[in-house]
Structure 1
Amino acid sequence: MSIDTARPRPAATDEIVVEGARTHNLRGIDVRIPRNRITVFTGVSGSGKSSLVFDTVAAESRRQLNDTYDSFVRNRLGRPGRPDADRIDNLSVAVVLDQRRLSGNARSTVGTATDIAPLVRLLFSRIGEPSAGLSHVFSFNDPRGMCPECQGLGTVDRVDAAALIDPDLSLDEGAIRFPTFAPGTWRWKRYVHSGLFDRAKPVREYTSAERDLLLYAEGVRPPDPDPEFPRTGTFEGVVPRLTRSYLTSESPGPSARDRAALDRVVSSGPCPECGGARLNRTVLDCRIGPHNIAEWCAMPAVELAGVVGGTDAERVRPLAEALVERLGYLDRVGLGYLSLDRASGTLSGGEAQRVRMVRHMGGSLTGLTYVFDEPSTGLHPADVHRLTDLMRRLRDKGNTVLVVEHDPDVIALADHVVDMGPGAGRDGGRVVYEGSVRGLLHADTPTGRYLRGPRAVRGRVRAPRGSIGIRGARLHNLRGVDVSVPTGVLTVVTGVAGSGKSSLVGGELLRVRPDAVAVTQGAVGGGSRSTPATFLGVLDTVRGLFARRNGVAASWFSANSRGACPTCRGRGVIITDLAFLDDVETVCEDCRGTRFNDRALSYTLGDRTIAEVLGMTAVEAAGFLGEPGVEDALGRLVRVGLPYLALGQSLDTLSGGERQRLKLARELAAPASVYVLDEPTAGLHGGDVDRLLALFDHMVDAGTSLVVVEHHLDVVAYADHVIDLGPGAGTHGGRVVFEGAPARMARSGTGATAEALRRYLEEV
């Protein structure tokens, strides 16, 4: 770990002063954060880093900024609460760059999210031939530019007639396989009373004309309908009726029942009119050199920068240079492999955070406080230097940079370090070290011990029991990959971001082994009301214990039922919808965030209310409740590295890595033969990774095959087998550059991962 030379400590007037901070698990701490410097906040997961940085410093900055607006704007912004602290001084405007995923809106792309797309459109409007018009015409979100068939979405939903109709049944027997067309429904009556069909005849016996009429007719007036058919009604085939009712932009959202039925009978694919390009033919015919705008946007950013730099039209030189600069920003934050047409909803939390960074890199504002949440998540060790270079530039422009981070290379960047701990939850919330990085290396804290700990590769690897063969894999950027994934061992698939790891493991391996359990960082479902207790299935037991102890119904101990606070309806927060801005959440003043009403809180179990029990960590609750089933579930939570999670914590607040480990905790109740994990160390302190590796050992020794997509070098070094993809990202990746034991990779491997592993082993 190469350490930045620490700058002289600033005067007290140049420090952010926090005194008596008690937000969440903070223990009334005092801290001085130097302004115009890079301060990295470290500590084990759950130690209070985010509570101090995001929920205290950044939250107070935003609250005071909101107070500068007039009353109309303040009312629209809501009334965020004041962080629980005695004093917070010398703040500047905070720009928070966290790991919230970008909008899943189908019309949001990397190009639109970074504001690069407008520059591309402007360039095509100036020098594209033949001209298609002004810049807005080149937008798939503008009616004048979008494809008329798919309305600018690039995909169309089509009804699969074969899945919709059972040819062996008649209309009376339910030949139309969709709930709203079932026998007896009002839609079904339109078909059987139209007089156009023999309602008792199997559809297989229909003539081709009758079948086309049943499926595709539009605006047909039946010549001899039954009396039950509307006098002025017209007949519409099943496919257009279903399309108009459920698939058009004007149709309301389907119910859960209909959604499941739609998934069975509707398929989505590229638009046949534009081929997925989203734009109309006039726009696609406009080109700069050999490429149209859709082809530009489909290129990786690093490749597109070269194409744009090659344009020789002098009159757009400043515009082309600005575009190349913006594309370079994407590459600088390790996202050069992304294309501008990549849907923003498909980005990971780490990718989304770095995309947000791009919007600020060309700005001229100074004196701001930039707040980052583990920005190295998802980055290969070889790419971390690009991130640290960005932070240095922000600092050197006169900004304050606050970073919550576990990565040693990012910690080494710091001018100042605040180490939180010593443990998680109630065992944390204190400042255990404050000072330089060099001092942290000698500190007797979990972070200090981890940073100076020994580095070694696994000496004796396990022998595989078999293998999973993948041949000729060409998904996305894979280049006809042939690889054998050993079973009965811990296999780590690594490589730079965009090299094809997810395509190989999440795509091809799962296709070959559909029985494998993929545990990803995606949403766990249930929304803000879902908690670890509900996800692991222990909340019903907890409610039952309270109900029996107090002689009342269990529903009193549900925030979704009789026990709910009437003001916030059991949410614990009041959510203010700001339309195009982010929603604002404020703690409910009536229940003080507990989510329960006064009567529910009047009942206790061993002198604890239901809210207090749900506020316990996994370790605390297991000991307090003493139920075998609950102890087993919460024990699994501890084993996956989440001992600090509160039973009642909203799953919406978890990071991607925490969500994945929570899913793993549930899966371990009935272990599978093959598990696929996607960067399970995301959000884990280095000291906590050892616990996760111990769990991996336990799983493999019990007969499980583990395939882990991971960048963390502790995990790579601990593997039995490593598959390294690369050598680069996007079109420069998609190949296997190494297969074998980590010791051999460190000794003779080539490529970015091998070099990073050798540097890792040299650090002490």
Structure 2
Amino acid sequence: VDSLETALKIGKGIVIVNSKSQIPKSKPEDLIFSQLFSCPNCGISLPEIEPRLFSFNSPYGACRFCQGLGSKLVIDPNLVIPNKNLSIAEGAIFPWAHASHKVGRQRFFWYMLEDLAERHRIDLYKPVKELPKEKIDLILYGDGIFEGVIPWLERRYRETDSEYTREEIEQYMVEKVCEVCKGKRLRPEALSVKIAGKSIADICEIEISKLKEFFENLKFENEAKEKIARPIIKEILNRIQFLIDVGLDYLTLERRADTLAGGEEQRIRLATQIGSKLTGVLYILDEPSVGLHARDQGRLIKTLKKLRDLGNTVIVCEHDPQTILEADWVIDLGPGAGKKGGRIVFEGTPKQLLKAHTLTGDYLSGRKKVEVKIPNSKTQIPNEKYLIIKGAREHNLKNIDVKIPLGKFVCITGVSGSGKSSLVNDILAKALMRKFYNSKEEPGDHDEILGIENLDKVVIVDQSPIGRTPRSNPATYTGAFTFIRQLFSQTKEAKIRGYKPGRFSFNVKGGRCENCQGQGQIKVEMYFLPDVFVQCPECKGKRFNKETLEVEYKGKNIAEVLEMTVEEAMEFFKNVPPLYRKLKTLYDVGLGYIELGQPAPSLSGGEAQRVKLAAELSKKATGKTLYILDEPTTGLHLDDIKKLIYVLKKLVEKGNTVLVIEHNLSVIKNADWIIDLGPEGGEKGGYIVAEGTPEEIAKNKNSYTGRYLKRVLAGEIL
């Protein structure tokens, strides 16, 4: 044994033992033994199996080719040669034909291409579409002497330190699944370890509802293995159950965090908290019902009550009627928004709220309803035009054909995870963005989209901010500020001083306060702490210099105008028709309370979305626009939802099409046409369950949306 230990030390874990056979005249045999996770015959070795080997965030477990991302940025030949009608001489190779930032660079590329063409007899004056594939490949990938366009771009991308060059080359790149790990993100050694024939990547691809069955039915060869595995499986099943309880049974564990909706993200954090079983904690949730179908809402409320019953306090900011009516105590703020809000108008039990004459109480009790009828609206002529998505197969969609009527207010409904976002955002929106705006994003798996010729543009109105800096505000975004600056430049005082409209902008030198560069605030950098913003001592937050503020229009200077609310500005500028129209659209979408100069980052998601809608409403209608909105009611009170529906119906009245993904029953009942996906979430979803008017959907017994819609149409508040 001592000799064996010494041999293993010297041989670094491998030893050869020479065994003498008992059979006479037979040759002695060499036997190889190893302490390592390796096969001495074929030379494959595994590192020591430990948890970090199964993590794509660790260098030990991550795929070496994509660094554990599962995808890589690669040069797309179609983006390098976008126009195949051009010849190489006419500049078909887009990145090289436009390399004008380096003088003489094009000449250098042309010299290399001429050299290649001479060797392989390539006609550089022939349109690319007429060249054989092998000759195009020589140009793109090289021949050993000539590097090739794509390897050259890849090398430049890797080696450059210039952010500008990287951005330029990224125009010709697309994200593709890693060829080595096939998107599984782990190294081959980690994927070779299997339980019940499945690797960790296979297990992460199983839907959470089915994953529970997998672990419950897991069998082991012997008792010793079962003893080790049972406590771990118990913990896994507990955590899976928490995710099912908060309505996330349709997700898979490998789903990327950036593809989750806000509500899904919040519910995952909620599941973590239930698992911790803490008591005496104050939980604050902001709209956990986002992205939840009325059917799943009950499950979430049960989960919140479970947290309360553990001895915790749960505070929820919510507009959902079901959640409000299930609460123990309700605090209603109001009475209006902005300057008209900020007071407690009611506190008490939900029963008392129904009797209280507050805006929330009126809607919950049914005294006010979310019903929108547009006065003087032209009776709709039956529209025979459709947008048809053929063979939609992305994610869980089951090769369905979807017919969207144009010129109508269309709602895509269905339980959480039924395939609504896959259909609208991943297939339709990406395909139309590529068609109209040459977007690089790859649309989801489908055959074709018919009827695009009936549209001239697509607008995606989401809840992302209208601007990232305080320089952007509702007045600049909607174009109202342009008219205001022109008005000020036409005043007598401005003309005497020779001030042009640019003088009244806080974004350019001249009229702005140079101490804070028109920000109104000065950033104080705090080491190891977040930056602090203090009011500019020069302009006192007004953003303009003293001379600019001396110019007044109707007794107000430019800074005072920006401090006005939309409602006040409408009265102030009522005699300026183009400006009044811009302000009127902001007022119509329910934003009469916001200030004209309110910084963009301080607007909520719902407010930002309505500012975008106002900007669209004020544009000249073409009647051929498709508006796509994903859950526009997020963060909106029932009264605001009524205003939103009014705006959307106004867009439809102009002949446009509005396509909305929505769970809110107040919006669904006001739609002209509904397409209901389902019947369940995840693998059991992806089919069209029902399509038609709200009344037709309500009669469909197979549709979950129909069941709840029936109750809402009967006057129930859900």
Which category of TM-score, normalised to the shorter sequence, fits these structures? 0.7 to 0.9
Q: Answer yes or no: is 1:239 the counterpart of 2:150.
A: yes
**Quick one: which of 87, 94, 99 aligns to 1:181?**
99
1:279, 1:367 → 2: CA distance? 41
1:305, 1:329 → 2: CA distance? 11
Which residues of 2 match residues 114-193 of structure 1 at below 5 A?
A: 133-161=49-77, 163-164=79-80, 175=93, 177-178=95-96, 181-182=99-100, 185=103, 187-188=105-106, 191=109
Equivalent in the alignment of 1:517: 458
Q: Answer yes or no: is 1:298 the counterpart of 2:215.
A: no
Q: CA deviation at 1:421?
A: 1.5
Q: CA deviation at 1:135?
A: 1.2
Shift in CA distance, 244/629, structure 1 to aligned 2, threshold 3 Å = farther
Equivalent in the alignment of 1:545: 487
2:539, 2:48 → 1: CA distance? 58
Q: How many percent of aligned residue pairs carry the same amino acid?
A: 36
1:589-618 CA-to-partner distances (Å, cap 9, x unmatched) read 648994725536665544445444333332
Q: With a CA cutoff of 8 Å and minimum separation of 6, indicate the structure with the bigger relative contact order.
A: 1
Shift in CA distance, 716/212, structure 1 to aligned 2, threshold 3 Å = closer
1:203/1:211 contact within 8 Å kept:
no
1:565, 1:365 → 2: CA distance? 53
Number of residue equivalences? 616
1:492/1:722 contact within 8 Å kept:
yes
Between 591-600 and 275-284, report the one with greater CA deviation.
591-600
SS of residue paired to 1:288: coil
Equivalent in the alignment of 1:536: 478
1:458/1:717 contact within 8 Å kept:
no
1:703-752 CA-to-partner distances (Å, cap 9, x unmatched) read 33333221111122222322211111111111122222322333443332
Equivalent in the alignment of 1:197: 115
SS of residue paired to 2:185: coil
Shift in CA distance, 344/650, structure 1 to aligned 2, threshold 3 Å = farther
Q: Which residue identity does 2:505 align to in structure 1? A: S
SS of residue paired to 2:115: coil
Shift in CA distance, 592/183, structure 1 to aligned 2, threshold 3 Å = closer
Shift in CA distance, 543/356, structure 1 to aligned 2, threshold 3 Å = farther
Larger radius of gyration: 2
Q: CA deviation at 1:663?
A: 2.4
SS of residue paired to 2:650: helix
2:549, 2:228 → 1: CA distance? 71
1:646-683 CA-to-partner distances (Å, cap 9, x unmatched) read 32333334444433333222222233434333222222
2:466/2:608 contact within 8 Å kept:
no
Q: Which residue identity does 1:670 align to in structure 2? A: K
SS of residue paired to 2:669: helix
Equivalent in the alignment of 1:420: 333
Q: Answer yes or no: is 1:284 the counterpart of 2:191.
A: yes
1:408/1:451 contact within 8 Å kept:
yes
Q: Answer yes or no: is 1:730 the counterpart of 2:682.
A: yes
Equivalent in the alignment of 2:34: none
Equivalent in the alignment of 2:180: 273
Q: Which residue identity does 2:183 align to in structure 1? A: G
Q: CA deviation at 1:532?
A: 1.9
2:392/2:423 contact within 8 Å kept:
yes
1:720, 1:149 → 2: CA distance? 50
Shift in CA distance, 384/198, structure 1 to aligned 2, threshold 3 Å = closer
**Quick one: which of 488, 492, 510 aligns to 2:411?**
492
**Quick one: which of 281, 292, 307 aligns to 2:214?**
307
SS of residue paired to 1:441: helix
1:571, 1:315 → 2: CA distance? 63
Q: CA deviation at 1:457?
A: 9.1
Equivalent in the alignment of 1:391: 304
Between 187-196 and 282-291, report the one with greater CA deviation.
187-196
Which residues of 2 match residues 11-410 of structure 1 at below 5 A?
A: 133-161=49-77, 163-164=79-80, 175=93, 177-178=95-96, 181-182=99-100, 185=103, 187-188=105-106, 191=109, 197=115, 203=124, 215-216=140-141, 237-246=148-157, 248=158, 252-254=162-164, 259=167, 262-263=170-171, 265-312=172-219, 313-410=226-323
Q: CA deviation at 1:693?
A: 2.8
- The Cα RMSD (Å) is 3.9
Q: CA deviation at 1:144?
A: 2.1
Q: CA deviation at 1:338?
A: 2.0
2:416, 2:577 → 1: CA distance? 43
Q: CA deviation at 1:406?
A: 1.0
Q: TM-score, normalised by structure 1?
A: 0.71
Q: Answer yes or no: is 1:620 the counterpart of 2:563.
A: no
2:207/2:249 contact within 8 Å kept:
yes
Q: TM-score, normalised by structure 2?
A: 0.75
1:420/1:429 contact within 8 Å kept:
yes
2:513/2:539 contact within 8 Å kept:
no
Q: CA deviation at 1:555?
A: 4.5
Q: Answer yes or no: is 1:694 the counterpart of 2:650.
A: no
Equivalent in the alignment of 2:620: 670
SS of residue paired to 2:613: helix
1:446-500 CA-to-partner distances (Å, cap 9, x unmatched) read 1111111167999999774123334432222111223433334332221111111
**Structure 1 residues without counterparts, runs of 5 or longer:** 1-128, 221-234
Shift in CA distance, 744/346, structure 1 to aligned 2, threshold 3 Å = same
SS of residue paired to 1:677: strand
Q: Which residue identity does 2:664 align to in structure 1? A: H
2:350, 2:111 → 1: CA distance? 81
Q: Answer yes or no: is 1:644 the counterpart of 2:593.
A: yes
Q: Which residue identity does 2:233 align to in structure 1? A: A
1:472/1:482 contact within 8 Å kept:
yes
SS of residue paired to 1:479: coil
**Quick one: which of 704, 709, 718 aligns to 1:757?**
709
Q: Which residue identity does 1:290 align to in structure 2? A: G
1:218/1:240 contact within 8 Å kept:
no
**Quick one: which of 420, 426, 448 aligns to 1:501?**
420
